[in-house]
Structure 1
Amino acid sequence: MSKTQPEPARDPKADHLLTPENCAVVLIDYQPEQYRTVTSSSQEEINLNVVALCRLAKAYDVPVIVSTVGVDMGVNTGTDDVIMSELPDVEEIDRTGVNAWEDEEFRKAVEATGRKKIVIAGLWTEVCLTFPTLDMLAEGYDVYPVADAVGGVSLVAHDRAFERMVHAGARPVTAISFGSELMRNWARDTSERFREVLQWYFPKRFDLMKEGEIG
């Protein structure tokens, strides 16, 4: 039997998997000062996957929150322009602390989305990603760290951080698996949004591989 029609969609808000209606994306501390000390991945690979997250979030109308640390203090500069150029309507939330969840403005921004599933990425893996992840898990959120859009000061630091988060209940994803989960069915009209991201992503990825920028 030929199959050309999508299976019935589950309740998009109650679904235990990620849907455009039940999740939000959080990006933390993608700043030059952080990139300079990351060695578990390259800046090119991290940015490729963060930009993919941004494009997927925009394509499926998923709320995005961006936070920085130390900009108002004059210690650091803001989020990489490659990322912010994808999010022209998003304002950065600056902090003084390394744990974004301890910042009231950030916390209220997450709460204001009304979403309990948080797809999160940040630099470094072991600090600015791990600490808010642990806090949000403790407060009843489902948290999904994006493994290929983050980096730590060493591979050991990155890996141990993921072990810690998973042990606490985090559910790691990757940028493209996130898009697949949002799209869910190739026969849906909205699948074209995912195709457009893939048509950008893989040529870009292969070009970076040829240039030796990513593995």
Structure 2
Amino acid sequence: MTFRNGLNSLLRPEDSVLLLIDHQPYQLANVNSHEPQMVINNTAGLAKAAKVFGVPTILTSVLAERGGLLFPQITDVFPGQEVIDRTFINTWEDRTVVEMVKATGRKQLVIAGLWTEVCVAMPAIHALGEGWDVTVVTDASGGVSVEAHEVAIKRMVAAGANMMTWLAVAAEWQRDWARAEQAAALTNVITQHAGGSGIAYLWEQQLLNTPVPSTTG
């Protein structure tokens, strides 16, 4: 295996494209690797972070008539955007999706979806074989069991994929807090979706805006 290191191995918003796969009711109903609400929250946070940094995001479902529409927490981030509905289980065999990814001109492919062991692993391994730099967002994905999720991660790592969580992806896209415009927007996403980190930030703002009691009498 060739290990990629150095600054150029980190994610760059100008070279990233996000592919969100099958975040649908049918798949969510049998996610047992994570608490389902966390998958929804983390995927929404990832989607909003992509929008903050101008990362093209492709939305896709499989047999939506039977499996249900993508979660509104995702589609509401991209109002009016078409969701590509597939028959292929392996998204990377759907030429419409692949051509949309290629049309962005980016080479860092970031993937999250349900289920990890099927609808994430297949396209990740397929794209790796075609030379793509693939990152899988593990906490915006989920499997039918902890074992299924973890075995899929091991399989993709062995194939050369990177594994990250959604907040790590967002931080790597931000890279420098001096990017003030993105920092302000990302901070808003963090307060909404990053749990304790978001609450801690709000608490910090409360303390900074609380007058120091006078000690003079």
Change (3 A) 1:95 1:46: same
Matches of 2:57 and 2:25, distance apart in 1: 20
Q: Per the alignment, in what secondary structure is the counterpart of residue 14 of structure 2? A: coil
CA deviations over 1:103-148 (Å, ceiling 9, x no partner): 1111111111111101100000000000000000000001110011
Give the TM-score normalised by the residue count of structure 2: 0.84
Q: How does 1:163-174 map to 2 (within 5 A)?
A: 163-174=154-165
Change (3 A) 1:138 1:61: same
Matches of 1:129 and 1:102, distance apart in 2: 13
2:44 corresponds to which letter in structure 1? Answer: V
1:114 corresponds to which letter in structure 2? Answer: G
| Alignment partner of 2:185 out of 182, 190, 193 | 193
The Cα shift of 1:187 comes to 2.2
Note the residue ranges of structure 1 that are not aligned, 5 or more in a row. Answer: 1-13, 208-215
Matched residue, 1:27? 20
Matched residue, 1:175? 166
Aligned length: 192
1:55 to 2:32 alignment: no
More helix by share: 2
RMSD after superposition: 1.8
| Alignment partner of 1:109 out of 100, 108, 127 | 100
Matches of 1:203 and 1:128, distance apart in 2: 27
Q: Per the alignment, in what secondary structure is the counterpart of residue 39 of structure 2? A: helix
Matches of 1:205 and 1:153, distance apart in 2: 28
The Cα shift of 1:170 comes to 0.3
| Percentage of matched positions with identical amino acids | 40
| Alignment partner of 1:67 out of 34, 47, 60 | 60
The Cα shift of 1:197 comes to 1.5
Which deviates further from its counterpart, 86-95 or 60-69?
Answer: 86-95
Give the TM-score normalised by the residue count of structure 1: 0.84
Runs of 4+ deviating beyond 4 Å = 203-207
Note the residue ranges of structure 2 that are not aligned, 5 or more in a row. Answer: 1-6, 200-217
Matches of 1:133 and 1:55, distance apart in 2: 22
Q: Per the alignment, in what secondary structure is the counterpart of residue 67 of structure 2? A: coil
